[in-house]
Structure 1
Amino acid sequence: MKYTILIADDEPEIMELLQLYLENDYSILQAKDGIEALELVQKETIDLAILDIMMPGLDGRSLLKKIRETRTFPVLFLSAKSQYHDKILGLGLGADDYMSKPFNPLEVVARVQALLRRVYNFDAADTSSSQSSICKVGELKLDRMRCSLSYGEEPISLTSTEYKIIDLLMQEPGRVFTRKKIYESVWDDYYVHEDSAIMMHISNLREKIERDPKQPVYIKTIRGLGYKIEAPREE
């Protein structure tokens, strides 16, 4: 079975280039603007999307917000904007990865492969003897067989990257995971001082599981090292 990739970009040359490099291994859907892309999301089964940020009709950021209302497939942003704050904003909206134009198409292929491997290898996760399929930390319960998180009885919707981070942290509550360890475990790539992506996904997780994200009681920052998760202390 081939994975289906949606490419949304208002530059025909970009879409043709990406299709050329991806079509041998994946089924490709193309959209020339955000509105057409949203229509495809609503009627097709999509496994990954590559979205341009600056598109007519519905820009990439607005499109991603609408996608995240109902879908959790990984999203790779492409943008002519390379400023740091644009990357932070894109990741903060729920994108899984971000690349600036101009780009090397071979790097796009590598990023796509890494995202798909990370997201759709859940079935290959080790849920046997050494790891329980259920992880609990306070009111949080992670079901690794179903790849789902709940707070008490309330299900929490996660993106694929958020799931991988919370899964890693909840396997060993109290352990401090360095940024390097988190990045290499979740992104399946060598760590090259990529703090912004980790920071934004942690921030997104706190928005979903903490009563007050500015004063987190579950996911703690260990200054200069990384992050850990622990059950809140009873008062």
Structure 2
Amino acid sequence: MNKQEALFKYLLRLADTSLILAQRNGEWCGHGPFLEEDLALTNISLDLLGQANSIYQYAARVEGKGRTEDQLAFHRNEREFYNTLIVEQSNGDYAKTILRQFLCDAFNFYFYTELIKSKDEMLAAIAAKSIKEITYHLRHSSSWVERLGEGTEESHNRIQDALNELWRYTGDMFGNDVVNNILLKENIAINPASIQPKWESKVKEIFERATLTIPSNTFMQSGSIDGKHTEHLGYILAEMQSLPRALPDAKW
């Protein structure tokens, strides 16, 4: 694998993760617990979609095969997607959605903060723009985790149940492979393991405030960097890609 191929796959990982999380959050549009929160989550979805679009555009240029950002998003199959496992998990109730968002926001905050230092100017520019949005996302989701954790007995139990279910997918966010190693030598990529201590510290801080308990002896799921996913992704793509695949030349 050469540098160009590694960069292309690296960009797909970032874009796919943002796209699938945007798609999941977008499922809440019109169904939020109340109007203000419905709008907040919809706006977060749009931010993530914008991040994905920018990264896909750059990935298409790096690949150099004439594909567009839409083709990368809507004309790849499940094994060609490299999003983290956690973002494809079902929404469940609002506690689960917020908990998933918080775990991802905390990771993205430290990841994109470091990515600003990338020697790849385009990647650094995308990170610099994205971090402003991610900072808001983290503030929003962390406040809701605390609110639900310290709220009623039911709200606490719901978000604790969400944590028990989702924690097993957090290890997948820190996967490393030859793609990362090639780009690390060029000071382009970020080694996810390097930000894990900061992520863990932030997560524990918020969970302590929310009186939540991190599951112990959890077997961590993995495989997303190799295109291996849970059963959920196939259903997401079937819905998300249905129109572009049915009418591939349509313009709207």
Higher percent of residues as helix: 2
Greater share of strand: 1
- Structure with the bigger RCO (C-alpha within 8 Å, sep 6+) is 2
Normalising by the residue count of structure 2, what TM-score does the alignment of the two structures yield?
0.27
TM-score normalised by structure 1 residue count: 0.29
